[in-house]
Amino acid sequence: MKLTGFELRVIEMPLVSPFRTSFGVQTVREALIVRAVTDEAEGWGEGVAMNDPLYSSEYVEASVDVITRFLLPALAPVKDLHAGGVAPALAKFKGHRMSKAAVELAILDAELRATGVPLSRELGAVRDRVDCGVSVGIMDSIPELLDAVDGYLDEGYVRIKLKIEPGWDIDPVRAVRERFGDDVLLQVDANTAYHRGDARHLAKLDPFDLLLIEQPLDEEDLLGHAQLAKAITTPVCLDESIVSARAAADAIALGACSIVNIKPGRVGGYLEARRIHDVCVANDIPVWCGGMLETGIGRAANVALAALPGFTLPGDTSGSGRYYSRDITEPFVVEDGTLTVPTGPGIGVTPDADALDAVTVRTEWITF
């Protein structure tokens, strides 16, 4: 293919309710939607960087800048452009994995639409439906938390993930276990909120039979995670620390985790996400697909990824209604605790023009 144009849209999507984690509260999801126009087809991608550099060093405005100033000029001269060549062509630019992932997905989507191949088939999916988990933010009170969890279980979600931080950890977990019992699949996510000295405190979570504790320590502290994994019985899962297949292999070798959360945006794209999956499968490490409050574009691609054989734990592949009253694609709806893997070419969904225009705050076109 030959890249002939590229569109960047900054959008603002109001959340159906505030979403609080250890690094702040979100009421609106600002995101970057991109469209690759080639001489064969068009493709869509989504940048998952947040509006502030809190989850990672990336943020939306920086993503727009690096894509327009560096990434696209590096791809424009490539005459025989294909998705597998995007990462090598952009490797000289350090970091900015979320930006690279958005560009790669748009080009991959265009390539697959041109050939009529679904993303799920391209990645190696083995299922046509995937189990759905839901991420529950930090609440103002335990009764509010219990009401929220009750609602999600009624909607059919098969796994509950509680966001935690110091001061909001043991008691909320205990309350959920006491209210809903031991049969509920339950895990917690700290988003790097703890330190090495908190091992004794985090061990208080062990009696609650959690699936895992996700990213308790700083993303660069692999040694600390390895030490923590020996000090507690709750399995340690890494998220922010896993930025590539090499990082995953190193973390596994160090004993820093026994489970991995794969977020395609965080690792530079769906092709690298598949490599991480393969590394984990080779080492008998279960994986699951994390979420970044994606619209239907990113959600469609995540569901396709979550259908690979190594994804044996329910991911953050929630329905559209978990976050948005109106998605920019046909909504993803949870049925019997699962979502259907799209079967159309590419990511299998296309944005609704009116819905997309309604949330767009800025558009930029680059032609080649």
Please list the active-site residues: 163, 263
Tell me which amino acid residue 320 is.
Answer: S
Grouping H, G, I as helix, E, B as strand and the rest as coil, residue 34 is strand
Round to whole Å and give the CA distance between 145 and 200: 25
- Residue 263 φ/ψ, nearest 5 degrees: -115, 110
In sequence order, the 6+-apart residues with CB closer than 8 A to the CB of 63 are 32, 47, 49, 96, 98, 99, 102
Rg of the chain over Cα atoms, rounded to whole angstroms, equals: 20
Check the CA dihedral 254-256-262-263 and report its sign. Answer: negative
Round to whole Å and give the CA distance between 141 and 151: 16
Buried b / exposed e along 51-69 (16+ C-beta atoms within 10 A) = eeeebbebbbeebbebbee
Closest of 261, 314, 263, 272 to residue 293, by C-alpha: 263
Tell me which amino acid residue 190 is.
Answer: A
Closest of 193, 178, 183, 200 to residue 138, by C-alpha: 193
What's the DSSP call for residue 354? H
Check the CA dihedral 232-235-241-247 and report its sign. Answer: positive
Structure token digits, residue 32: 């970057």
CA separation, residue 8 to residues 44, 99, 107, 208, 320 (Å): 10, 11, 13, 45, 22
Round to whole Å and give the CA distance between 52 and 31: 11
In sequence order, the 6+-apart residues with CB closer than 8 A to the CB of 204 are 170
Round to whole Å and give the CA distance between 269 and 350: 19
